[in-house]
C-alpha cells in the first residue's frame, strides 16, 4: 500500500520527483520522524540532498541517530510557507505553501568518499559557496560525527497557492480578504567580535543579503 496518496485536496498533490527535490532544496530545515522503542519521535535538523539521497548528521553520542543507522524506516517532511490566505470567514483561512513528504530507510554513512559528499551537501544546503571557503572537518571532528543517509523510496509534494475561497454570501461582508506574502529574508551579516581586520563579507554571503 502506498504511503504517499492524496485523500484531501488531491488536486494539490504531485508525485513528481523533481518537484519533491526542489522543495527539499528550498527548505532550510527538515523534520524526520521514526519509531523508537515503540514511541514516535520527530526531530528538526539541517539536511542536504544528492540525487535521491537525503543526508542528516549529528553527534555520535546522539541516541536518535544511533537508532537510525540500524535501518529504521524514516519519514522526512519539509514545508515552505509562501503566504497567509486571509478569508472573510475564519473557516476558509489558510496558507500558501509548498511541502514534501519522503519515506525511506536510514543507513550509516561510513566511507570517506561518501562522508565528504554528505558534509559538502549539508554545508552547501545551508550556505552555498561555503564549502570552498571554510576549513573542512578535521579527523577528530569527523570521528565525532554520525552521518545518516536516507534513500528516497516514496515521496510526494503538495502545493497550495491562489486566493482564499470564501462562500458567495461572505463576499458581502465588510471584511478585507486576500493574501499576505511571506518569504525568507537575510539580514545584514554580523561579524564575530574577534574577526581580523580586512576580512570582507564574501560575495556568496553578500548575494544572499542583496
104-119 pLDDT, tens per residue? 999 999 999 999 999 9
Average pLDDT across the chain, whole number = 92
| Band of residue 8 on the pLDDT scale cut at 50, 70, 90 | low
Domain at 10-166, CATH from 1.10.580.10, 3.40.50.720, 2.30.110.10, 3.40.50.300: 2.30.110.10
- What digits encode the pLDDT tens for the residues 43-97? 999 999 999 999 999 988 776 777 776 778 999 999 999 999 999 999 999 999 9
Distance CA 41, CA 136 (A): 31
Handedness of CA 191, 196, 197, 199 (dihedral sign): negative
Boundaries of every domain in the chain: 10-166
| Confidence (pLDDT) at 203 | 96
| Band of residue 6 on the pLDDT scale cut at 50, 70, 90 | low
- What digits encode the pLDDT tens for the residues 65-80? 777 767 789 999 999 9
Grid cell of 192 as nine digits: 564575530
Q: State the residue for C-alpha cell 537510525.
A: 68
- What digits encode the pLDDT tens for the residues 121-163? 999 999 999 999 999 999 999 999 999 999 999 999 999 999 9
| Band of residue 2 on the pLDDT scale cut at 50, 70, 90 | low
For residue 70, what are the contacts with CB-CB under 8 A and spacing of at least 6?
106
Amino acid at each position: 500500500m502506498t504511503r504517499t496518496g492524496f485523500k484531501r485536496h488531491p488536486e494539490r498533490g504531485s508525485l513528481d520527483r523533481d518537484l519533491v527535490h526542489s522543495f527539499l532544496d528550498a527548505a532550510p530545515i527538515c523534520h524526520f520522524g521514526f519509531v523508537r522503542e515503540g514511541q514516535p519521535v520527530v526531530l528538526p535538523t539541517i539536511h542536504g540532498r544528492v540525487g535521491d539521497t537525503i543526508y542528516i548528521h549529528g553527534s555520535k553520542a546522539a541516541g536518535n541517530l544511533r537508532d537510525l543507522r540500524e535501518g529504521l524506516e524514516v519519514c522526512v517532511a519539509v514545508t515552505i510557507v509562501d503566504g497567509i490566505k486571509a478569508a472573510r470567514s475564519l473557516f476558509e483561512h489558510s496558507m500558501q505553501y509548498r511541502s514534501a513528504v519522503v519515506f525511506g530507510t536510514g543507513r550509516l554513512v561510513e566511507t570517506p568518499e561518501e562522508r565528504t559528499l554528505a558534509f559538502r551537501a549539508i554545508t552547501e544546503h545551508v550556505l552555498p559557496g561555503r564549502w570552498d571557503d571554510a576549513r573542512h572537518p578535521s579527523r577528530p571532528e569527523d570521528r565525532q560525527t554520525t552521518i545518516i543517509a536516507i534513500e528516497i523510496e516514496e515521496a510526494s509534494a503538495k502545493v497550495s497557492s491562489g486566493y482564499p475561497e470564501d462562500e458567495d454570501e461572505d463576499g458581502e461582508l465588510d471584511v478585507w480578504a486576500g493574501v499576505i506574502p511571506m518569504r525568507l529574508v537575510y539580514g545584514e551579516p554580523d561579524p564575530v567580535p574577534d574577526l581580523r581586520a580586512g576580512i570582507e563579507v564574501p560575495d556568496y554571503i553578500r548575494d544572499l543579503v542583496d
